[in-house]
Chain A
Amino acid sequence: DVKVTQSSRYLVKRTGEKVFLECVQDMDHENMFWYRQDPGLGLRLIYFSYDVKMKEKGDIPEGYSVSREKKERFSLILESASTNQTSMYLCASSLRGEGSNQPQHFGDGTRLSIL
């Protein structure tokens, strides 16, 4: 069974801090994703990585960066946290393949509050 683990369930940080959210998957998936989930807006893709050190911007990358130094780990970085980044952050992973019929598997989420 696929396991996607996010390092924190709840996190409280201050405006201007640099924030790291960590995600680890144990199924050797090539693709990893970071989303934020906000009421009424569903999930919006922040960044996507299809291989180590490879990344692509999603729909809302502003104010965020990512790091993928190892295949199993995908980090989301808030360079200088702002209150509008208070949200639920979800990590997901999947096997690669154009037209692949593999779904994405999600972690439990990190509820981040920026004060």
Chain B
Amino acid sequence: AQSVSQHNHHVILSEAASLELGCNYSYGGTVNLFWYVQYPGQHLQLLLKYFSGDPLVKGIKGFEAEFIKSKFSFNLRKPSVQWSDTAEYFCAVRPNAGNMLTFGGGTRLMVKP
């Protein structure tokens, strides 16, 4: 079975700081990779996804993530965060031949104005 690790449970940044959230997974086969975001009081929303092709994927709101197959990683980045990015971020993995997602434990990001 696959597993997903998000190394930081809580991250606090000031506005305009750069962001990188780590995500590592364990699975021997081909995977689809996702980042979801949950803003306070809202439902989970898809931020970006990787299925194949260019390992650098761009999502909504200026976020991007890079799939590094050799490191089993899919880190989320944003060059300059805003207060409105305060949310919880979840990395998720799905085997290419499957339907079920496995989520990481989540990272709570707080951006100070």
User: Which residues of A come within 8 Å of B, CB atoms?
Assistant: 4, 31, 33, 35, 40-45, 48, 50, 56, 58-59, 90, 92, 94, 96, 98-101, 103-104, 106-109
Which of B49, B99, B100, B106 is A42 in contact with, Cβ under 8 Å?
Answer: B106
Cβ contact within 8 Å between A99 and B101:
no
Q: Is B34 an interface residue (CB 8 A)?
A: yes
B98 CB contact (under 8 Å) in A4, A98, A107: A98
B: residues with CB less than 8 A from A are: 1, 4, 6, 9, 32, 34, 36, 42-46, 49, 51, 90, 92, 96-106
Q: Do residues B49 and A108 form an inter-chain contact, with CB atoms below 8 A?
A: no
A31-B99, A42-B104, A108-B42 known; A99 vs B9 contact (CB < 8 Å):
no
Docked-complex contact A42 and B103, CB < 8 angstroms: yes
- Taking a contact as CB atoms closer than 8 A, the residue among B101, B105, B106 that contacts A104 in the complex is B101
